[in-house]
Amino acid sequence: MSASDRPAIVRALREGGSFLVLLHELPDGDSVGATLAMLLALRRLGKRAMAVGADRVPRPYQFLPMAEQVRVTGEVSLESWDIAIVLDCADPERAGDAWPLARRAKKLINIDHHVTNIGYGDLNLVDPGASATAELVYALVRDLGIEVDRDMADCLFMGIMTDTGSFRYANASPRTFRLAAELMEAGASPEALASSVWESRSISSLRLLARALTTLKVSDDGRMAWLTVDDVALAETGADEQEVEGFVNYPRSLEGVEVAMLFRPMADGRTRVAFRSKGRADVSRVARALGGGGHPRAAGCVLRSGPDGAVDRVLAAARQEVSS
């Protein structure tokens, strides 16, 4: 899969009349930032456009322009749209309950940077070399000749900043820094954006983190570490599902750890697993072997088993990766 559909996507954005833009489940900064930037661009073109996701915009991103206009699936009628744009989703399942809405559109555009993306759109812009999906949206905005104002710059910068871990991860390339500089020149405020994400935690999220850290386990060889966050922990700390985001980076920060995992048992008996890596381990291969996907350094999957069975399966797959 390549970016060969980019000119056709630009034409579709110009010619379409109505657009539905989809976020992924439990949206992160890239999902939200890319979506809001696309929504702003479409409105600037005079299009009828709506953004929808399976979950509400998390609190750290609610201050971004247009965030209050993002709808959850239950608030959207089953109407038909000219074009559905699915952002930052390696596969349709990542859109969760919003995916059936996308299927009602006359044309589907898939814009993503995950190496495991399966190219499910009628038109696909998939570039694993991009630091974030927001980077690809920025490219389309420039192709469309739309001037990037402060609002759009903030949204795009948020996507790039969060998906690169504040430009600390290996996906932050020289191009990434050049684009970030352009967005700052357009009015993006890195200090305000970073403060909203990393310096505005709720008390409940810190209590949940304290609880999660008590579950920390490390493999005998010290190369794998993991946490577990269950419904009991959420209920007793008063935290919500979205406040779990980023917890997997704590086991990743341990010296000697190459693969970190967070296990999130769900009420329906399945277990959601988040992976992070450093060094040479490619967790996208681990996730893909378990039915998921993602990036070499950040990936995920959902297993149809409880936490005990999920841990055993995941550790076996991760051990094979770190030993290869």
- Which whole number is the average pLDDT over 302-321? 93
Question: Which letter does DSSP use for residue 95 in this model?
Answer: G
pLDDT at 74 over 90: no
What pLDDT score does 299 carry? Answer: 93
pLDDT at 1 over 50: no
pLDDT at 76 over 90: no
pLDDT at 63 over 60: yes
CB-CB contact of 32 with 22 (8 Å): no
What is the spatial distance between Cα 321 and Cα 324, in angstroms, rounded to a whole number? 5
Question: Which pLDDT band, with edges at 50, 70 and 90, does 28 fall under?
Answer: very high
CB-CB contact of 2 with 126 (8 Å): yes
- Which whole number is the average pLDDT over 253-278? 96
- Which whole number is the average pLDDT over 65-84? 91
What pLDDT score does 214 carry? Answer: 98
Average pLDDT for the chain:
94
What pLDDT score does 279 carry? Answer: 76
- When comparing pLDDT for 129 and 76, which is higher? 129
Return the closest-CA partner of residue 251 out of 216, 212, 211, 215: 216
CA distances from 152 to 39, 115, 195, 280, 307 (A): 9, 26, 18, 35, 41
What pLDDT score does 290 carry? Answer: 96
- Which whole number is the average pLDDT over 269-295? 93
Segments making up each domain of the chain, as ranges:
6-198, 203-323
Question: Which pLDDT band, with edges at 50, 70 and 90, does 79 fall under?
Answer: confident
Give the chain's count of helices (H) and strands (E): 12, 12
Pairing of the two strands 107-112 and 259-265: unpaired
What pLDDT score does 78 carry? Answer: 72
Is 203-323 assigned to CATH 3.10.310.30? yes
pLDDT in tens, 208-262: 999 999 999 999 999 999 999 999 999 999 999 989 989 999 999 999 999 999 9
- Which whole number is the average pLDDT over 180-203? 95
Residue 209 phi, psi dihedral angles, 5° rounding: -60, -45
Partner residues linked to 233 by β-bridges: none
Instruction: Determine what percent of the chain is predicted with pLDDT higher than 90.
Output: 90
- Which whole number is the average pLDDT over 126-138? 97
What pLDDT score does 308 carry? Answer: 86
CB-CB contact of 313 with 303 (8 Å): yes
What pLDDT score does 196 carry? Answer: 93
- When comparing pLDDT for 84 and 79, which is higher? 84
- When comparing pLDDT for 83 and 246, which is higher? 83
- Mention every residue, 6+ apart, whose C-beta is less than 8 A from residue 322: 223, 224, 258, 259, 281
What pLDDT score does 80 carry? Answer: 83
What pLDDT score does 77 carry? Answer: 79
What is the spatial distance between Cα 278 and Cα 321, in angstroms, rounded to a whole number? 12
Q: Which CATH class is domain 6-198?
A: alpha beta
Q: What are 133's two structure tokens? A: 């999906």
What pLDDT score does 2 carry? Answer: 47
